[in-house]
Amino acid sequence: MNSTHLSKRLSQVYDFVVSYAAKPCRLADIGTDHAYLPCALALEGEVTFAVAGDVAAGPLASAKEEVSSQGLEDKISVRLGDGLTVVEASDRINTVTICGMGGRLMRDILEAGVGRLEVEHTLVLQANVGNYALRTWLDEAGYEILDEAVMQEGKHFYEVIACVERPGKVASLSDKERLMGPKQLQKQGEAFRLMWADEAQALRYVQASLQQAKQPNLERLQEIQQQLTYIEEELGK
User: Do 217 and 142 have their domain in common?
Assistant: no
Q: Residue 118 to residues 46, 90, 122, 165, 234: CA-CA distances in angstroms?
A: 18, 10, 9, 10, 37
User: Do 72 and 39 have their domain in common?
Assistant: yes
Residue 182 lies in a domain: no
Residue 202 lies in a domain: yes
Predicted pLDDT of residue 187: 95
User: Do 20 and 98 have their domain in common?
Assistant: yes
User: Do 90 and 203 have their domain in common?
Assistant: no
User: Do 162 and 198 have their domain in common?
Assistant: no
Residue 21 lies in a domain: yes
Pick the last residue of a domain from 170, 200, 222.
Answer: 170
Predicted pLDDT of residue 69: 96
User: Do 139 and 53 have their domain in common?
Assistant: yes
Predicted pLDDT of residue 5: 87
Report mean pLDDT in 10-residue bins for the chain, 237 residues. Answer: 88 98 98 96 98 95 96 98 97 98 98 97 98 98 98 94 97 98 96 97 94 89 96 91
130: left (phi over 0), alpha (psi -120 to 50) or beta: left
How many domains does the chain fold into?
A: 2
User: Do 163 and 224 have their domain in common?
Assistant: no
Residue 1 lies in a domain: no
C-beta of residue 149 within 8 angstroms of C-beta of residue 160? yes
Predicted pLDDT of residue 4: 81
User: Do 201 and 151 have their domain in common?
Assistant: no
User: Do 52 and 160 have their domain in common?
Assistant: yes
CA–chain centroid gap for 101, Å, is 8
User: Do 158 and 230 have their domain in common?
Assistant: no
User: Do 54 and 152 have their domain in common?
Assistant: yes
Residue 23 lies in a domain: yes
Residue 69 lies in a domain: yes
CATH number at residue 157: 3.40.50.150
Predicted pLDDT of residue 1: 75
Residue 185 lies in a domain: no
Q: What is the span of the domain harbouring residue 227?
A: 191-235
φ, ψ of residue 7 in degrees (nearest 5) = -65, 170
Q: Residue 113 to residues 28, 41, 70, 79: CA-CA distances in angstroms?
A: 12, 23, 29, 15
Pick the last residue of a domain from 138, 170, 202.
Answer: 170
Residue 180 lies in a domain: no
User: Do 89 and 165 have their domain in common?
Assistant: yes
Is the model's pTM score more than 0.75?
A: yes
Per-residue HEC secondary structure of the chain comes to: CECCECCHHHHHHHHHHHHHCCCCCEEEEECCCCCHHHHHHHHCCCCCEEEEEECCHHHHHHHHHHHHHCCCCCCEEEEECCHHHHCCHHHCCCEEEEEEEEHHHHHHHHHHHHHHCCCCCEEEEEEEECHHHHHHHHHHCCEEEEEEEEEEECCEEEEEEEEEECCCCCCCCCHHHHHHCHHHHHHCCHHHHHHHHHHHHHHHHHHHHHHCCCCCCHHHHHHHHHHHHHHHHHHCC
pLDDT digit string, tens, across residues 89-123:
999 999 999 999 999 999 999 999 999 999 999 99
